[in-house]
Every structure is written in C-alpha cells, then in structure tokens.
Amino acid sequence: MEQFSKQDVREILEKLEYELDSIPKLEKIEKMKMRGKIRQQESWLLAFANPTPQKVLMKLQQRLADLFRLYPHGFSDEITELLKLKVAHLKQR
C-alpha cells in the first residue's frame, strides 16, 4: 500500500500555504485561519492509501472549498502537477 511520506505532505501543504500570499482580498487574520485549516489536512494526507493526483485534488477541493474559490485561475493545474510528481515518486520507492 502506497502512502505519501511526511516530506511529500509537507511540500503539498507548503504549496497551498504559499499560494495564500497571492490572494490580495484576505486580511492577515483570515490568512492565519486558512493556514491553520491547511495544516489540519496533514493527517488524512499521510493516511491516504494508494493516492492518485485526481483523488487527492478532489478531496482537497472538498475539504478546502472556501480556499480553492479564492486561489487564482490555474492553481489547480499547478497543484495537480505537484501531486503527479509526488505520486510518481511513490511508485519509484
């Protein structure tokens, strides 16, 4: 059974957090709340068995729907590419 490593999950979450800085509408307090929400995704990402980029992205979009609405157009493509790299890395282990 394949699962993301702690390092993989950290990189995915960092990508989500980093993109928050490109959202001008959010105030500092709102960004802090969103970062907390992003960090709460760590446990299920670590436990996700046999991940595929599509499944992980869909689950992230469900769990962070309010945040994905604010991300710029095209960010889903960027996160999908990152997920593809992480899943390919899993298969190489």
CA distance 68 to 62: 9
**pTM summary value:** 0.92
Q: Over the chain, what is the mean pLDDT?
A: 94
Question: 49 in a domain, yes or no?
Answer: yes
Question: 33 in a domain, yes or no?
Answer: yes
Number of domains, the chain: 1
Question: 30 in a domain, yes or no?
Answer: yes
Structure confidence by residue, pLDDT tens digits, 14-52: 999 999 988 888 899 999 999 999 999 999 999 999 999
Q: With a cut of 80, say whether residue 93 has pLDDT above it.
A: no
36 phi and psi, to 5 degrees? Answer: -60, -40
For residue 22, give its domain range.
6-92
Question: 52 in a domain, yes or no?
Answer: yes
Question: 1 in a domain, yes or no?
Answer: no
Structure confidence by residue, pLDDT tens digits, 65-80: 999 999 998 999 999 9
